[in-house]
Each structure stands twice: as structure tokens, then as C-alpha cells.
Structure 1
Amino acid sequence: MRLRTENLRMVGKLSVVALGMFAFGYAMIPLYRAICEATGINILSLSERQVPGGGKAGKAAQVLLNSQVDESRTITVEFDANVRGPWHFKPAQRSIQVHPGELATVMYEFQNVQNRRMAAQAIPSYAPRQATAHFNKLECFCFNQYTLEPGEKKEWPVAFVIDPRISKDVTTITLSYTFFEVGGQTPAAPETRAAATPAGAGA
């Protein structure tokens, strides 16, 4: 009888531990997103943010519908890639020019040059800092982790819209990615050079 009681207590303790681990795992995603929002690391696009009464796809469409293209302004978007490991990673284009409110897409190229499988993820950062809140990514490889076989090549899109409400002083935005292998220590978001130019400068 005593042994049975002890066994029941042990089962109860293990059940509590299992439930606690499940709850912690379930809370990791919103906790991770909250930390990312607070630190500016791995910023989610508006299409990934849940809003009352709307899903991800609906929010992405809403961004486009609510964005009026400002053809009177042009912003240069520069693309940068930081390599933290034995692989190739670069943008297909170094820069493009877009109007605020205009949907644009660029590709990033990646190749695993190792002789083993790897899992990796990208961290984005922006310059100037004030552009972060106005750079809305509708599609981005940085939203997920990826597993690549030895020698495997991939091309991933980044689709984005720059909010027309961005300051008119901002004429250049640098979008930088650091690609790191999952399982190691997560690097901090890279520091990018200042990229704000007074409106009309250099004209």
C-alpha cells in the first residue's frame, strides 16, 4: 500500500512537470515575438501580427489596400548580407529605388557549402533606426528556420512595402541580414551605418 501511494505521488509530480514543460513551450512563441518587438531584432511584418477580427493573409491585403503610392518621393533601399559561418549568402541586387506605398520584391541567394546538413535562420536589422516601424515585410525568409542539405542552394524572396508616413528626411534605408546556424549562440543584430539623408540633399 505504501509503495502504491509513493508511485501515485511520483506520477502526480511527473504530470505536473510535463504540464509545466508544455505550457512553457506554448508560451515561447508569444514571448519570443514580444522580445523581438522590444529589441528590434527579427521584426515581424504587419502580415504576421495578429489583430482582432483578422488573420495574417487579411492583414497583408489590408496593408496593400491602405497604402497609397507616393510617386512624388523615391527611397533607395540597400540590401546587405552578413555571413556568420561557412556558407554563401548575398542579395541578388544591392539596391533598388521604390516609392513609399509601392510593393517591391528582392531575392536573396544562399548556399550551404558544408558537407553536412544544417539548420539556419536570418536576423534582420534596419538603418536608420526610425525606418524599422515603417518597413513592412509581407513575405520574408527571416520568418522561419530552414534546413539545407550539403551543397544545397536556395533563393528566397523579401516582399515589402514602405509606409508612406515615413519621415521625408529618410531617403535611404539599409536592410541588413545576418544568417546564423540554429543550435549555436544567437548573434546580435548587426550594426548598420546611418542612412538618413536630408530631403533634397544631393539634388
Structure 2
Amino acid sequence: MTLIERLRRDNHQMVVKLLVVTALMFGFGYALVPMYKHICEALGINVLSLSEQKNGGVSGTRERPANTQVDLTRSITVEFDANARGPWEFKPAQRSVVVHPGEMATVMYEFRNVQNRVMAAQAIPSYAPHQASTHFNKLECFCFNEYTLQPGESKQWPVVFYIDPKLPRDVTTITLSYTFFEVGGKTPAAPTGKAAAVVTGTGERS
């Protein structure tokens, strides 16, 4: 075998090897996506591909894992009350919600300064029954701060909360009542007990 023939044979073998390596690399890259998906599923890792993120999630009927901190075996009715001490329009955007213990919920309250002057005000909460106060967890609440409203200004502020699953099972209804008063005057006492549940947004008793 001449030197030229030997070089041609070696070049041919090298080309074949490179083609095989290229094919193997292409096959591995093609199989990487399903392999990655199966590994994530086996490990319980919920990772969405870029296309799935753009489409808002994985299509199909597969459900998300349940939140084990939410007690789905019972429901609590939370009623919302507003009592304005002074010239305010103050009311909840909705009168009640039904939640499971441990479930997060958000309710908006509406405020309006009907005076022709700037007014600073703050709210104080109360609960009925009183024992519910230690199980009513507010993550965000307008009652945490003092607010200033311009003449005729209207605002909406949220209450973000959840009910502790340790709430006694005989409590099925909680009334969250707020008293909104002008800062600078005498702070009114908050309604307590059943009185908190019957004070309406106009200050009248039902």
C-alpha cells in the first residue's frame, strides 16, 4: 500500500469517526429535554420550559400539589363591618367571604373624606367572637398606619389575612369590625363582643 493510499484510508476513517461523534452529540442533545423533564418529575421539581412560561403554565389536566396548610375540611365565614367616627364614608367592598382555615384572602375597604379640609385618620380593629382575635392573622392592613386624605379624596386599602387552622371548630363565623376615627381627637373605644357584629357603616345598630 502506497503512502497516498494509506493517507486516504486514514482520512476516510477520521471522517467516519467525526460523523459518528456528531450524530451521537445530536442525539444526546435531542434526548436531553425529555430526560431533563423525567428527572425533574422524579425528583418532584416543578420547572416550566420557556414556551410553557409564555403560555402561562403547563397545559393539560395535571393539578398543582395541594397546600397542606389549608384545612379543606371546614369553612369559616368572615363578615366585614365599618364604623366611622366622624365625617367619613367608610365601608368594605364586600360584606363577607368564605375561606378555609390557612387560606389567604384579600378584602378591600373604601374611604372618602367628605370634608372640605385635610383630615388625618386611623382605624382600630375588633373581632367577634373575641376569641377569634388570636387566630385572625393580618399580613397587610390599613389599620397598621395613619393616613391623610385631601378634601373629597377617595382611597381603597386592602386587608390581607388568613385564619389560623387552630381556631376552635365551633367557631364558624368571625366578624372583623373597624372603627375609623380622626387623629388628634379623642380615640374612641373599639366595639367589643357581639356589639362589633351589629354596628353598621352608618353607626346605627341593626
TM over 0.5: yes
8 Å Cα contact 2:122-2:182 kept in structure 1: yes
**1:167 corresponds to:** 168
**2:125 corresponds to:** 124
8 Å Cα contact 1:67-1:164 kept in structure 2: no
Cα distance in 2 between the residues matched to 1:133 and 1:191: 14
SS in 2 for 1:160: strand
* Deviation, structure 1 residue 191: 2.8
Cα distance in 2 between the residues matched to 1:162 and 1:94: 17
8 Å Cα contact 2:89-2:111 kept in structure 1: yes
Count of residue pairs brought into register by the alignment? 130
SS in 1 for 2:131: helix
Listed as ranges, the matches of 1:16-165 within 5 Å are 68-165=69-166
Cα distance in 1 between the residues matched to 2:167 and 2:142: 24
SS in 2 for 1:71: coil
Relative to 1, partners in 2 of residues 1:67 and 1:116: Cα closer, same or farther, differing over 3 Å?
A: farther
Cα distance in 1 between the residues matched to 2:168 and 2:68: 15
Letter in 2 for 1:125: S
* Deviation, structure 1 residue 135: 0.2
Cα distance in 2 between the residues matched to 1:133 and 1:69: 18
| TM-score (normalizing by structure 2) | 0.61
Cα distance in 2 between the residues matched to 1:78 and 1:67: 25
Relative to 1, partners in 2 of residues 1:142 and 1:67: Cα closer, same or farther, differing over 3 Å?
A: farther
| TM-score (normalizing by structure 1) | 0.62
* Deviation, structure 1 residue 170: 0.3
8 Å Cα contact 2:94-2:107 kept in structure 1: yes
Letter in 2 for 1:121: Q
Please list every run of at least 4 consecutive aligned residues from structure 1 whose deviation after the TM superposition is greater than 2 angstroms.
none
**Percent identity between the two aligned chains:** 78
Cα distance in 2 between the residues matched to 1:146 and 1:192: 27
Letter in 2 for 1:135: F
Query: Could you list the runs of 5+ residues in structure 2 that have no partner in the other structure?
Result: 1-66, 197-206
Relative to 1, partners in 2 of residues 1:86 and 1:194: Cα closer, same or farther, differing over 3 Å?
A: closer
Letter in 2 for 1:179: F
8 Å Cα contact 1:67-1:163 kept in structure 2: no
Relative to 1, partners in 2 of residues 1:91 and 1:67: Cα closer, same or farther, differing over 3 Å?
A: farther
- What do the CA deviations read for 1:3-54 (whole angstroms, capped 9, x no partner)? xxxxxxxxxxxxxxxxxxxxxxxxxxxxxxxxxxxxxxxxxxxxxxxxxxxx
- Rg (Cα) greater in structure: 2
**1:13 corresponds to:** none
8 Å Cα contact 2:130-2:193 kept in structure 1: no
Cα distance in 2 between the residues matched to 1:182 and 1:130: 28
How large is the Cα RMSD of the aligned pairs? 1.6
Cα distance in 1 between the residues matched to 2:78 and 2:92: 12
Letter in 1 for 2:191: P
- What do the CA deviations read for 1:122-180 (whole angstroms, capped 9, x no partner)? 00000001100000000000000000000000000000010000000000000000000
